[in-house]
Structure formats: structure tokens, C-alpha cells
Amino acid sequence: MNKNENNGFSRREFLNKSGIALAAGGLGLSPSISFGNSKKVNKAMKKIKITRTDSNFEREPLFPYRFKGSAITQAWQAVALMGSDSGIHKIGIGTQGTLWSDKAVFQSHSTTGGNALMYAMTERALQIIKGNSFVDPISLLDDVLPEVYAYGVKITGNPDLKTTFALNSLVPVDNAIWLLYGEENGMKTFDEMIPEAYQPGLSQKHDKVASIPSFSVGASIKDIKAAADEGHFIMKLKTGAAGTQKEMLAKDIEFLTEVHKTLGDRETPYTKNGKIPYYFDVNERYEKKETLERFLDHAKKIGAFDQIAVIEEPFGENNKVFVGDLGVRIAADESAHTVEDALERIEQGYSAIALKAIAKTMSMTMKIAQAAYEKNVPCFCADLTVNPILVDWNKNVAARLHSFPDMPLGLQETNGHQYYKNWDKMVSYHPMANEEWVKTKNGVYPTGKAFYEKSGGILATIPHYEKMFDH
């Protein structure tokens, strides 16, 4: 294989040097497979050499957020600095989601231990990249991910480490690379930064994006009602309660009943039938298809079935059961690690993809969004309980996705305001904190002309994080 003109080393050379060429195929990164025309991706772009890297992090306390049979009480905000030989530097941020990305790692370590492992992978990525050159962020991610994943397997001691754990660790690095790529190539907006090959899947410009709050397992119905009173017309409702499968199903059915009693008669202008849509996230807790069928049978019995817009990740990723015959839209989230995983899920009957630019990197998200678009599978953006600035990284994707069926706007889960103890202080770090798109109004974010012109503020310098590298 000839040396890739777009990088300081060829992909095969890189993988061989790392001793992990065989692992690449398992990550959906085979050099012979390309999603999107790389010539289009790299057209007339500069080769950028990375000469400086640095990293840091902040701990942010949370009110307990319960899912996957566990709970998180802290989220590390990882920060990566990337500088080029031209003297330009950019800072990328990422929120670590250890429980979401790999429950086994989360449960095998202390909260600090699990976060430290992910942060070590972020630092490892910076070490790999320093001294090398790139032309576009997507190719760079393809080159770096296999070695970061292999390093993660080593330090966690988990041979079955989820790819999303590695991707989550790469978010601050990938964001910094995108910002550097844009600056070096004279790009002023997020639209200019989207490579041509991935523009079809991100071609809309909604003037509103639904703000979807998230309620953890065991959430109070009063809180859910309060959110509806504030104008939220779609809410993420965590099911998969703790306990045995029998105990879980009983609790989930009870919760569904209470939700439908509370929201069933509400009206909204944002759905075709005028009713509140239900969005359930099971987080892989159901072991068998029959368990989900019993849940759906109850939904039919109480008249809630037709209001279920989507059920996210009911089963573990190793459960290959076909889900296209359940009569409801089933979405893939954490199991759609890479674009190849997403395509496999689509073959299993999954008819929606939850995108997470703030958890799986913007680079991987663009590939998944385009692949789903080509398969006519709708997407929406899910949260990772991220900070306010990352909310707008996600929003830039949500606002450009094609409409979810029967809903004429973008969809984005944002729950940080519910769980961060210092949310208001974190909002003050946003470089455009007073812009109208930053805050929810009557259940939606207004994403008008100014939002697109200013790219939601994600390209602006962030003084709070710049100060972390004053040394």
C-alpha cells in the first residue's frame, strides 16, 4: 500500500507499527473499506503538523443519575490542547461517560478509577498524534482509534472493552482537531467544515430543535409532569429498573402506566397526531425479546402503544435478535459504536440511530449519520450528560439532521441542567452564553439565522479552558 499523501504515515504502516493491524477490522476501520469518498473529504485541504499537545480535566459533581442498574455521581470534563507548526492552537473538551460507554469497566473500578482510565486513553491519543501530520479529522480518527482501543484493553484489563469507551476518550481530541482543521483552512462556520461526502446527511437547517430532558430510573412522575408543564413535548424516560428480569418488568410496566395516565391526554403542535410521544431508553437491560413484547403488550392494553415514538437499546449488543417486527421504532445507541456497527443494527431491524457527537466523536458521528441517511433510517441526538458547550456541539448536528418521522424539527436530548450541581456556573463558561439558542424556550431551542452564522458558539475561544493551560 502506498503512503497516504494525506498523513505523515500510511494507515497500514500506522497499524503495523502499533502491532494491532488485526484489531482494525473489529473496529470497522479496515483500510479497504471507505464510507464516503476520501478525495472529496480531503479536497484542497492543508497538511497540518501537530507540534504541541496538552491535557487537563475538571471533576463536576452530579445529583445521582440512575441507569443500567447503577448510578453516576460525578462527570469528568476532559480537555485537550492541540497546536500546529503554524503556531495555531485549539482546545477541545469532552465529558466522560464511563457507565454509559462500558458498564463492566464502571463496575470494576471506583468512580475515580474508571474516569482515570478513560483520561489515560485521552492522553495516549495525544502522544500518538504529536509530531504527525493530518489533512482531515475523519482520517486521523481512523488512524488513531485502533491503538487507543488496544491501549484501553491493556490498562482496563478488559479484553471485551466496548469501542464506545475508546471513542468517548477521544472526544476532546477529535473536537480540538476539528477546530484546528477549520482554523488552518480558513473556515468560518460549521457548515464549511462538513466534508462534502457527509453533507447529504447533515443538510437541513431546522429553526427549532426539541429540547429533550431525561428522567432516570425511578424518577418522580411529578417531575415528569412539571417538565411537560414547562413545554417539553418529548422526554427520555429510562426503564430497565434494577432487580431481576421479572422485578424489572413489573417496575417498568408500573412506570409506563403512570406516564400514560399523566401525559396521555396532553396535546402538542409538534407531532402529526397532536399527542405527546413517548421515548423509552432501556440501556440494554432486557435479556430477551419476549420481555420487551410483554412491555409492549401492556402498552397496547392501556392505549399507550401508538404514542411510543422510539425505544432505545432494549438489548445488549451481543443479542442479534431481529427487532423489525415489534411494531415500534427501535433505536440503536451505545451498540452502534462505529458506522459498520450501525449498519449491522439496521440489518437487524433497528429503524433509528441515536447519534452522540459528544460521546462517539464528531468524526464517527458524521459517518454514521451519512450511512443512516443512505439507508433512509432517521437519526436524533442523544446526550451523555455533557456540559453546556458540548450541548451546542450536539445541537449543530441535531439542527441539520433530516426530520424524525411526524416531527417537523430536530431532536436533541439535553439533561445536564437536571443533574449537574454547578450547571449555572458551567453555563457561564460558554462563550456565547446569552444567545437565544443556548436556553430552552417552551420545550425547544430556537435555532434561527444567528445560530447557523455563529455555529452555536462552538468555534469561539473559551477563556475558562484557555486558563487551564496558561503554564
| Predicted pLDDT at 12 | 36
- Give the architecture (CATH level 2) of 48-187: 2-Layer Sandwich (3.30)
CATH topology of domain 196-469: TIM Barrel (3.20.20)
Angle 285-291-295 (CA atoms, 0-180°, nearest 5)?
100
Mind listing the pLDDT tens digit for each residue in 14-28?
Answer: 344 333 333 444 454
Q: Provide the whole-model pTM.
A: 0.90
Domain boundaries, the chain: 48-187, 196-469
Give the orientation angle of helix 362-374 with respect to helix 339-347, to 10 degrees.
30
* Domain 48-187 identical in fold to domain 196-469: no
The pLDDT value recorded for residue 470 is 82
The answer to whether 373 touches 200, Cβ cutoff 8 Å, is yes
For residue 255, give the C-alpha cell.
Answer: 412506570
pLDDT of residue 27: 57
| Cβ partners under 8 Å of residue 310, min gap 6 | 277, 279, 280, 328, 329, 330, 331, 352, 380
Q: Are 84 and 163 in contact (CB under 8 A)?
A: no
Q: Which residues of the chain have pLDDT under 70?
A: 1-44, 471
**What distance in Å separates the CA atoms of residue 123 and residue 176, rounded to the nearest whole number?**
13
C-alpha 346/C-alpha 52 separation (Å) is: 40
For residue 272, what are the CA distances in angstroms to 309, 401, 404? Answer: 12, 18, 11
Long-range contacts of 240-245 (CB under 8 A, 24+ apart): 240/67, 240/68, 240/69, 240/281, 240/282, 240/283, 240/284, 240/285, 240/286, 241/217, 241/285, 242/66, 242/69, 242/217, 245/286, 245/287, 245/288, 245/291
Residue 43's pLDDT is 56
